[in-house]
Amino acid sequence: MLAPLADVSQCLLAVSGGPDSLAMMVVVAHWAQEKRKGPRPALSVATVDHGLRKEAADEARFVAKIAKSLGLKHKTLRWEGSKPRTGVQAAAREARYQLLCDHAAKIGARALVLAHHADDQAETLLMRLCAGSGPAGLSGMSAVSFRNDLLVLRPFLDVPGARLKACLAGTGLSAIEDPSNSDARFTRVRFRGLRDSLESEGLDAARLGRLAKRMQRIEAVLVTTVAEAERMAMMPQMPGRRFAALLWTYPDEIILRVIGRAIASVGGRGAPDLAALEDVCLALSAAAQDGKRLKRTLGGTVLTCDSAGVLKLVAENDPRQNKKA
């Protein structure tokens, strides 16, 4: 499981002091210190103090003490400034990633190691399923991914959370329990409470984990095919994007993704809502097949399909978009 870490010169471990990340730190530290052939990375530890609970500073010092006993350098990263009144968990998660990525860049770490495990993966899939995610969302978290130029490693995605807790118990260390992990105001906590009922019907973490891996395989094929479709169908167009009628000969999922990527690039608002994108693509595809001209707007982008099936995308605020295609 830790083999991907061996290819990195320096890794930053994100450790909150909870049982999962604390077990991760102990396991990785002992692995890195084993006297075996082969490379081992230099390790550093960081704890994020979100400034949301007064106990957080003491918890960071607790992690620092254990890190020191393992021979690891530790840094507390603080989320400064005002905090949002709503969506605080999502904002805290984004701030945490940014702080960790910035610190990794500062110390020269090439990888960020996180303690997400099989139970976290199961909850992520259930949340995304209920949110109406497509194949990309149902791929769940990846064991190896990138955030900007930083490698993000989750080596324990196949390990049950109980196994990590048992590992920690074997060391004699006691972890910190964050009260937010049992607060039903938060979405993930509510989904965690549903898992016993779902497991009794056979939908356990192992099966959800297999689903994520299957979707990841499908996603890899789709990404490759989308890149090929873009290469074949894209026509010169500055600014904006333009695609030849060849685009409409591809499967619906490929068309959807090509257009979605183009909207995100041209409109500057990121990926559009999937359901809205599906509706727009269906209408444009039907118009192209019928040889009719159609104009739609989505995600800050004006999409125009002419009678020959050529699709043009221009930013909504571009004065040229009002001209007849």
Write the pLDDT tens digit of every residue in 216-233. Answer: 999 999 999 999 999 999
pTM: 0.83
Residues 15 and 64 in one domain: yes
pLDDT for res 325: 43
Give the number of C-alpha atoms closer than 13 A to the C-alpha of residue 110, restricted to the C-beta side.
9
Whether the Cβ atoms of residue 19 and residue 164 lie closer than 8 Å to each other: yes
Domain of 64, CATH number, reads: 3.40.50.620
Residue-level pLDDT at 101: 96
- Digit-coded pLDDT (tens) for 114-134: 999 999 999 999 999 998 898
Decide: helix, strand or coil at residue 112.
strand
Dist. CA 46–CA 73, nearest whole Å: 8
Asked if pLDDT for residue 76 goes beyond 80, the answer is: yes
pLDDT at 196: 81
Residue 95 lies in a domain: yes
**Average pLDDT taken over every residue of the chain:** 91
Is the pLDDT at 321 greater than 80, yes or no?
Answer: no
Going by C-alpha positions, the residue among 268, 273, 266 that lies closest to residue 311 is 266
Verify that 15 and 139 share a domain, yes or no. yes
Residue with tokens 């106990």: 55
Residue 76 and residue 27 share a domain: yes
Predicted confidence at residue 201, as pLDDT, reads 87
Say if residue 305's pLDDT is above 90.
Answer: yes
Q: Clarify whether residues 40 and 85 are in a common domain.
A: yes
Tell me: do 148 and 277 sit in the same domain: no
Instruction: Give the per-residue pLDDT at 323.
Output: 53
Does a structural domain hold residue 226?
no
Is the pLDDT at 214 greater than 70? The verdict is yes
Q: What is the mean pLDDT of residues 72-92?
A: 89
Residue 60 contacts residue 49 (beta carbons within 8 Å):
yes
Residue 7: inside a domain, yes or no? yes
pLDDT higher than threshold 80 for residue 298: yes
Q: What percentage of residues in the chain have a pLDDT greater than 90?
A: 75
Q: Are residues 145 and 261 in the same domain?
A: no
Q: What is the pLDDT of residue 182?
A: 67
Residue 81 — very low, low, confident or very high, per pLDDT cuts 50/70/90?
A: confident
State residue 309's pLDDT score: 97
- Residue of higher predicted confidence among 282 and 131: 282
Domain count across the chain? 2
Q: What is the mean pLDDT of residues 16-42?
A: 90
Specify whether the CB–CB gap between 303 and 259 falls below 8 A.
yes
Could you tell me how many helices (H) and strands (E) the chain has, helices first?
A: 9, 11
Phi and psi at 18, nearest 5°, equal: -75, 170
pLDDT band at 84 (very low <50, low <70, confident <90, very high): confident
Quick one: 57 and 204 in the same domain? yes
256-280 pLDDT, tens digit per residue, is 999 999 999 999 999 999 999 999 9
Mean pLDDT of 145-165: 94
Answer for the pair 60, 152: CB distance below 8 angstroms, yes or no.
no
Is residue 152 within 8 A of residue 111, CB to CB? The reply is yes
Per the domain annotation, does 276 fall within a domain? yes
What residues make up the domain containing 79?
Answer: 3-211
Q: Judge if 116 and 245 occupy the same domain.
A: no
Task: State the pLDDT confidence band at 320, using cuts at 50, 70 and 90.
Answer: low
* Residue 251 pLDDT level (bands cut at 50, 70, 90): very high
Whether residue 280 sits in one domain with residue 171: no
Burial grade of 170 (CB within 10 A; 0-12, 13-18, 19 or more): exposed
Q: Is residue 222 part of a domain?
A: no
d(CA 296, CA 305): 9
In a domain, 65, yes or no: yes
